[in-house]
Structure 1
Amino acid sequence: MDKSINPKIDFLKQKIAVLPSDPGVYQYFNSDGKIIYVGKAKNLKKRVSSYFVRRPENGKTAILVRNIANIEHIVVGSEEDALLLENNLIKKYQPRYNVLLKDDKSYPWIVIKNENFPRVFSTRNVIKDGSLYFGPYTSTTMVRTLLDLFKSLYPLRNCKLNLSPNKIAEGKYKVCLEYHLGNCKGPCIGEYDEESYRKNIDAIKNILRGNIGSVIKYLKELMMAYAADFKFEDAEEIKQKINQLSSYQSKSTVVSSNITNIDVYSIIHDEESAYINFLKVVNGAIIQAHTIELKKRLNESKEQLLSIAITEIRERLHSTSREVIVNVKPDTDFKNIKFSIPQKGDKRNLLELSERNVKYYRLEKLKQQSIRKKETREERLMNTMQKDLRLPYLPKHIECFDNSNIQGAFPVAACVVFKNGKPSKKDYRHFNIKTVVGPDDFASMEEILKRRYSRLLAENESLPQLIIIDGGKGQLGAAMKSLREIGVTDQVSVIGIAKRLEEIFFPGDPIPLYLDKNSESLKVIQHARNEAHRFGITFHRNQRSKNFVSSELDEIKGIGDKTKEKLLSTFKSVDQLKKQDLDSIKLVIGLSKATLVYNYFKTKK
């Protein structure tokens, strides 16, 4: 993970490090605090980490990742719950990088209709008419399996007739095909009493609420009976129903049709802080989640702290719900608000979900504090280098020097800078050797160090804690001579590294130090030496190229510096200039000078 993927990667890494490995929903926010993406995960930590492991190949994903400024998450009980919650949040916030969900997209429910001799069927429309709704279900296969099971176990009607006692008594209806097929016992003609029918409905409610042990027991006995009678196809069909029921979860803890518009608060606290989670539930779905931390000042009680949090969150999130679920009653009377601590049912499930999230939030905060207290990699590296190289100070600022020349031609030098063990490329510097004639590396090193550190002293800039010289005893001796002349040898440490055996030389010590080839200290020194060599060679190559261009154009009499600048600016190189005809050159510098240039290159050909 690096800053080219996301400029806030260091902050995001801290958030990811403490994510739980539970199922849930993650939300990405941009720098304006707006949700730009909502996703679900079976394992929150693994899923969110995957966005930042490497640069995304997809362009749109790369743009999303680069715009992430913050990450928040909600822990739920299962992957199915995560899918449902993701759906709700996408509909609510319509994040820019999510696939847009149409408003009519919904998951199926199983409804037990509020009527005489209730019907049981699937629907995608929840109507507040007193009927019981179970779900929603993410699998339509599961819905069909349950309805088929009910049909095979219990003779229920599927007609839409108004089976009031008066109309049945008056003989208004006749039996249909379902009656003749044995799927219905004819409540419409009074052959099936309502009390027996209600017992079947109660059994179906138990199955939908998860109380399915007795049903599975019955089905197993039926399966064995079929097998004993050699009805293996029937036994296999029952076995498949048992498998479906065994893996069935009665409903989601995230959504409930019985809950319309409520707020949920849960609080936990310790000696220093209180943590409060908030869930907003509208029309049976969670559409908002938020957790805050309050620092204690006067050993306030959790009842007092919850009152403060409720006031803050309701104002901040513009909540006007009149029903509020809590795990502790606040010590303040809020007008037009009814507080309750549910002990069972859907509301209890929501409170437990809120409590689970606030516990995770506290654990994450404690983990973050623990991580901050631990020694960072940079600090450990600096301590290791200080110990290995016997330095008086931590080498947080390192500078490394290298000379480049070919038989004394175009002598240059490079200085690379490392901060906390990493390259700081904006601080790199290169030098043209000015006072040395011929290939004299020692004298060149003396000149460069004297120029570099005389300037830093004159500008009151900080000196490095460590200077690395690319070379052995001779180069190190030349460097120390310069540093003694400007009086900084007591302020900096200097070492030399010889290429052949990677020996580390210290001033005044004829015996080199050999660091383990896997040593972190040696790797930093080698990295700095290689960077200095690369940076110096690149600069040296550029200087040779410029010198060649200038010397060739200098051969043309009557062509001055401004004219050369115009030509190179227009044609980019001498090679391109050579390919031009007289008219093209004339448009840039006029006919007389163009003739001189054109004739010169024509003659050289």
Structure 2
Amino acid sequence: MAAFDAEPFLAGLTTRPGVYRMLGDAGTVLYVGKARNLKARVTAYFRASGLTAKTMALVAKVRDIQVTVTSSETEALLLEQSLIKTERPPYNVVLRDDKSYPYIHLTEHPYPRLAFHRGARKEGRYFGPFPSAAAVRDSLNILQKLFGIRPCEDGFFKNRSRPCLQHQIDRCTAPCVGLVDRERYAEDVRLAVMFLEGKSQDVLAEFKAKMEAAAESLEFERAARYRDQIAHLRRVQENQYVHGAGGDVDIFGIAPDYEGAQGVSSSEASAGGGAGAQVCIQGLFVRDGRLLGHRTWFPKNELAMSGGEMLFAFLSQYYLGTGNREIPKSVIASASMAESDLLANALS
């Protein structure tokens, strides 16, 4: 294709908000962006000076620009993220399409099981989504230690004639061979559900009451079992505690790849920028005052954006461009974002 003639195109460009798509050879989408003022934003790519080397490399590849006018900048942001998800342009921040998030699944069964689940939902109750598979497995490990809920498949459950290793290491009460009655098991499931709902303080209070009742009845072995559960639950609370009053918040921090960001100044490094650098973005996820888990991403900073610009692009894609993402009450970012109000409006 012939080189892009920017002057006549810019002369007729509207000043309204919208989305622009930069196309390369054979119509390949190189970059998708949004603007409050399309004319001003697109014109900035063709100024004589002040562009980074990466941006100039992008502009040199442009053979055509297509624009879509929208009624507001918020609508432009939503359309931009939809197009990024569909087109996956090389110069945009593009996240892997997480079509299926991990959950904890409580099955419908006389003796329900708690299990890792990803994909289409079946019967039962689901808790999540969790930020990663590791966060689900950590939670399942805690639940087994605290409540002894079985992890085995129903087919395995039906064909047991003696307790398995999970019972031997005190991670299952062995309902498969009748070592726990249905009423007692249902009580353990109820407490496990309370824990998953963020009500660990209520679970702790019930454990204490049960321990005291067992001691008064001279059931010292049972009281000791509750004592051990209380101690373990307190350790879990210490590791996961964020704020006793509860609350849902996602927290994101950004840092550059210092080895890859040659020539990055100290101010750029602290902001998370650097020409062509790969950056690290860390997310922490808190639900009901409890740290649910964390996750790390390593997107490339193809256009040498600042830390705030990179976080804005990342969070826009994370919440708006990757399906039915759970949106918390608050999102905290480590770098200031000039368009934070725009993103807040799009998420509300």
Common topology (TM > 0.5): no
User: Normalising to structure 2: TM-score of the pair?
Assistant: 0.42
* Higher CA-based Rg: 1
Q: Normalised by the size of structure 1, how large is the TM-score? A: 0.27
